[in-house]
Amino acid sequence: MSIEVQNITKAFGTFTALRDVSFQVPTGELVALLGPSGSGKTTLLRIIAGLEVANHGAVLFHGEEATGRSVRDRQVGFVFQHYALFRHMTVFENVTFGLRVLPRRLRPSARDIRTSTPSQRI
Amino acid sequence: MGADVHTHAGSTKRQTALQDPWFVQWGLIVAAVGVVGVLVLVPVINVFYEALARGAGTYMQNLLADADTRHAILLTLTVAPVAVVLNVVFGVAAAWAIARYQFPGRTILTTLIDLPFAVSPVVAGLIFVLLFGLQGYFGPWLREHHLKIIFATPGLILATAFVTCPFVARELIPVMQAVGTEEEIAALSLGANGWQLFWRVTVPNIKWGLLYGVILCNARAMGEFGAVYVVSGHIAGKTDTMPLRVEKLFQEYNLPGSFALASLLTLLALITLLVKVGLERKMQADAAKALQSASEELLADARAPIKESA
Amino acid sequence: MSTLNRRILPGFRLSLSYALTYLTILVLIPLAACFAKASTLTWDTFWGTVWTERALAAYELTFGASFAAAVMDVALGLLIAWVLVRYEFPLKPLFDAIIDLPLALPTAVAGLVYSSLYVQKGWFGQFLVPIGIEGAYSRLAIVLVLTFIGLPLTVRTIQPVLATCDDETEEAAACLGASRFRTFSYVILPTLYPAMVTGFALAFARALGEYGSVVFVSGNMPYRTEIAPVLIVARLEEFAYGEATAIALVLLVISFSMLILINLLERWSHRYGS
């Protein structure tokens, strides 16, 4: 899946985190964002994932507008700074969470989830 | 470590990913406000409505013309402050011992302080009757010396003090632990003795927490019913406190009188709430200031040039 | 730091001895009198008093009503805490402050006003009685007023836990495709279970001992709406001190167990939370 951001601007109150940022990431490429603290790296990633809404600009996945899509529908995998583990769930439940919250018609059965997860390695 | 730009829970603007749909938000808000309105707000309004239903003149008459009601007001205003003062002295002593020292049995002492919370008010009154009543363990001795505790004011004070005993102590212990001992030790090193240390250093630091405990203790003391009911013998004009008088007037089907007195108690509760909210803000402001000055100190230390070791 | 050698700061002996003496005189000796008096009863008399039909009806009512009220308090407390922490609306500070009113209001006033609101001519009763809901002089009345009394206990137990909920876990759930409802049920609610249980225990313990408000609203009908504390007072007024003490002892034992349980729960929830 290719990702493109076009003219993203994001301000928090009077502080502008991102101003007119644009770039393209073709399918399959590995890209790293480097920059000093406060330069807006986390903010940009969160905008791509849908956790923040940009004041201006667009996000496209595979050439399609994704800017209006909610975070749930974007299918972006996100690794959080502080791991964001579900502490009250087992490791297995953590790993399979995404499968278990699929809408009913798309959700695999509990047995399929169990057998398809390499739980021996957990 | 990069600056963490996402907002924390409790801030006013939540991220769109974490927002609930607007109809869910407003549905829940209406439900919550409705629940609190029905359970709490409407009763308060009703008290004042019923008290003033026959006009302000009747209201004042209900409160002041009835000798027994007047006596009840004065009795509550005597019993409650005495109980509060007793418990403040205890609370300060207990908090000092628990917050400032380690000793065997410290946890047990802390649990013992909570004990009155676990005792039903009626049982609290009962145990004093068992001790000081006519047939109680000290009954004969008291009769010999013409002292009356049960069915008299001292009994009311004892029962009220028992029931409200934990309030001040429980409030002061965390406050004293949070304030810390640095200033007190500094005062000690400068030559202060125990009492000077206490009055000049400790008390100013814990004053808001102390006041908070006092108003909670007072609200409970003035409103106490069960324990005082048992211990007083509810003799009108002699041992009826305000809550007991409210009940007596209710039993006599004198609802306007009952509500008039109840409105005074409700007013007291509302004032207690107001003072409580004000104190909470003060304590939060103090805590925020302490945090800020502590972090400023750390920052200053971090920026100081590294000195060569001698 | 509070871990100090007791010799550094003065006042250890004075404060500790005063505190212990006060506690002994005011709390421990009176409680001991209760146990002492109860022990003068023979085993048979004790059971004969504590296990009568009327006493059993009183226990059943006390426990049943307190349990129901505590459950209501947890449910309503969760709703109110959620709205307080997550949403903004006009007059919210006023709303927040008034929740603590049941803690400050004398229980007699609560009883008085609740009985007046739900009788046939009352503000609520005029609508409820015609459709068969007796909110005064009934078991429902007891549950209602006990719910009022315990409400701030559950709200203020759940609220701080909800306020320190991690944003990141909710965002992670959203990234993984969970709807807000699923995020609430699978991710947020389980972290609130300890606070909900602690709040339940606090409200339950408070309701068990409640007297002042219930005497106004229940009608105190033996076998029907008489709670255990009312039974104790009835025995006292008959000068049957031994019997009153026996029932009081039963209540005491249960309350002490609740106190220990609540302390354990609070410790468990601290561990679970961190």
Taking only the tens of pLDDT, chain C with its 274 residues reads: 445 555 678 888 899 999 999 999 999 999 998 888 888 888 888 888 888 888 899 999 999 999 999 999 999 999 999 999 999 999 999 999 999 999 999 999 999 999 999 998 899 999 998 898 888 889 999 999 999 999 999 999 999 999 988 888 888 888 888 888 888 998 899 989 989 998 999 999 899 989 999 999 988 888 888 899 999 998 888 888 888 999 999 999 988 888 888 888 878 877 765 4
Q: What is the pLDDT of residue C2?
A: 47
Domain count, chain C: 2
From C155, C105, C104, C102, select the one nearest B215 (Cα to Cα): C104
Note whether A41 and A98 are same-domain residues.
Answer: no
Instruction: Output the pLDDT for position B235.
Output: 67
Residue A100 inside a domain? The answer is yes
Both A65 and A7 in one domain: the answer is yes
In angstroms, what separates the C-alpha of A10 from chain C's closest C-alpha? 19
Residues C99 and C203 in one domain: yes
Nearest C-alpha neighbor of B171 from the set B302, B53, B276 = B276
CB contact under 8 A, C105 and B269: yes
What are the CA-CA distances from residue C236 to residues B158, B237, C241 (Å)?
19, 22, 6
Q: Are residues A67 and A32 in the same domain?
A: yes
Chain C environment of B224 (Cβ under 8 Å)? 106, 212
Give, for A61, the enclosing helix (H) or strand (E). Answer: strand A56-61
Residue A70 falls inside a structural domain: yes
Does one domain contain both A9 and A59?
yes
B78: Cα within 13 Å, side-chain hemisphere: 16
Q: What chains are in contact with A, requiring at least 3 Cβ pairs below 8 Å?
A: B, C
Helical (H) or strand (E) element with A64: strand A64-65
Residue B9 sits at the chain A interface (C-beta within 8 Å) = no
Domain count, chain A: 2
Residues C124 and C26 in one domain: no
Put simply, the answer to whether A101 touches C173 (Cβ < 8 Å) is yes
Helices C228-237 and B121-132 cross at an angle (nearest 10°) of 20
- Residue of chain B nearest A53, judged by CA positions: B16
DSSP string, C134-164: --SSSHHHHHHHHHHHHHHHHHHHHHHHHHT
Q: Is A82 on the interface with C (CB under 8 A)?
A: yes
Domain that holds residue A55: 3-74
B123, B176, B231, B268, best to mutate vs chain C, most C CBs in 10 Å: B123
Q: How far apart are the first and last CA of chain B?
A: 34
CA distance C57 to B125: 23
Looking at the DSSP bridge assignments, the partners of residue A56 are: A9
Residues of C in contact with A86 (CB under 8 A): 169, 172-173, 186-187
Looking at chain B, list the stretches that DSSP marks H as alpha helix, in order from N- to C-terminal side.
Answer: 22-36, 42-52, 56-64, 67-100, 106-114, 121-132, 139-144, 153-179, 182-189, 194-197, 203-223, 226-232, 242-251, 255-303
B12 lies within 8 A of chain A by CB = no
Q: Is A2 in contact with A38 (CB distance < 8 Å)?
A: no
User: Residue C234: which of C75, C55, C73, C84 has the closest Cα?
Assistant: C55
Q: Tens of pLDDT along chain B (310 residues)?
A: 333 333 333 333 456 667 888 899 999 999 999 999 999 999 999 999 999 988 888 888 888 888 889 999 999 999 999 999 999 999 999 999 999 888 888 888 988 898 898 899 999 999 999 999 888 888 888 888 888 888 889 999 999 999 999 999 999 998 898 887 888 888 888 888 888 888 888 898 898 889 999 999 999 999 999 999 999 986 666 889 999 999 999 999 999 999 999 999 999 999 999 999 999 888 888 878 878 887 888 888 887 766 655 4
Residues C171, C203 share a domain: yes
Residue A80 lies in a domain: no
Task: Select from A38, A41, A53 the Cβ nearest to the Cβ of B16.
Answer: A53
Q: Is the domain of C172 the same as that of C218?
A: yes
Query: Based on the domain organization, do C36 and C46 belong to the same domain?
Result: no
Spell out which residues of chain C touch residue A101, defining contact as CB-CB under 8 Å.
173, 176-179, 182, 186
Could A43 and B1 be called an inter-chain contact, meaning their C-beta atoms sit closer than 8 Å? no
Residues C83 and C10 in one domain: no
Q: Are residues C14 and C132 in the same domain?
A: no
| Those residues with Cβ within 8 angstroms of residue C246's Cβ, 6 or more apart along the chain or in another chain | C38, C41, C45, C46, C49, C50
Q: A99: distance to nearest CA of chain C, Å? A: 8
Domain ranges for chain B, please list them. 78-236
User: Among partner residues A51, A73, A102, which is closest to C171 by beta-carbon distance?
Assistant: A51
Those of residues 203-262 in B touching chain C at CB distance below 8 A are 216, 219, 222-226, 229-230, 242-244, 246-247, 250, 255, 258-259, 262
Q: Does residue B276 contact residue B61 with C-beta atoms inside 8 Å?
A: no
Residues C137 and C102 in one domain: yes
The residue among B197, B33, B67, B1 whose CA lies nearest residue C9 is B197
Q: Look up the CATH number of the domain holding residue A58.
A: 3.40.50.300
Element (H, E) at A3: strand A3-12
pLDDT confidence of residue C112: 95
Residues of chain A in contact with residue B9, where contact means CB-CB under 8 angstroms, are: none
CA torsion angle for B218, B219, B223, B226 (degrees, to 10)?
-70
C111 and C74 within one domain: yes
Homologous superfamily (CATH) of B78-236 is: MetI-like (1.10.3720.10)
Is there a domain that residue A82 lies in? Answer: no
In a domain, A39, yes or no: yes
Same domain assignment for residues C185 and C110: yes
The answer to whether position A79 is within a domain reads no
Among candidates C27, C88, C123 on the partner chain, residue whose Cβ is nearest the Cβ of B115: C27
Task: Find the CB nearest A80 among C168, C179, C186.
Answer: C168
Give the residue from C110, C114, C74, C109 showing the smallest Cα distance to C202.
C74
The residue range of the domain holding C53 is 42-273
Residue A24 lies in a domain: yes
Dihedrals phi, psi of A106, to nearest 5 degrees: -100, -10
| Residue pointed to by tokens 């006060």 | C22
Question: Do C74 and C137 reside in the same domain of the chain?
Answer: yes
On whether the CB atoms of residues C226 and C58 are closer than 8 A, the answer is: yes
* C18, C48: one domain: no
User: Do A34 and A69 reside in the same domain of the chain?
Assistant: yes
The dihedral sign for the CA sequence C128, C129, C132, C137 = positive
Give residue B236's pLDDT: 65
Write down the pLDDT at residue B1: 33
Helix (H, G, I), strand (E, B) or coil at B4: coil
User: In this predicted structure, what is the pLDDT of residue A30?
Assistant: 92
Q: What is the pLDDT of residue C1?
A: 44
A86 in a domain, yes or no?
no
3-state secondary structure (DSSP) of residue C120? coil
User: If you count residue pairs, one on B and one on C, with CB atoms under 8 Å apart, how many are there?
Assistant: 318
Taking only Cα atoms into account, the Rg of chain C, rounded to an integer number of angstroms, comes to: 23
Q: Output the pLDDT for position B310.
A: 47
pTM greater than the 0.90 cutoff: no
CA distances from B170 to B92, B112, B177, B286, C12 (A): 10, 11, 12, 19, 18
Q: Which amino acid, one-letter code, is at B196?
A: Q
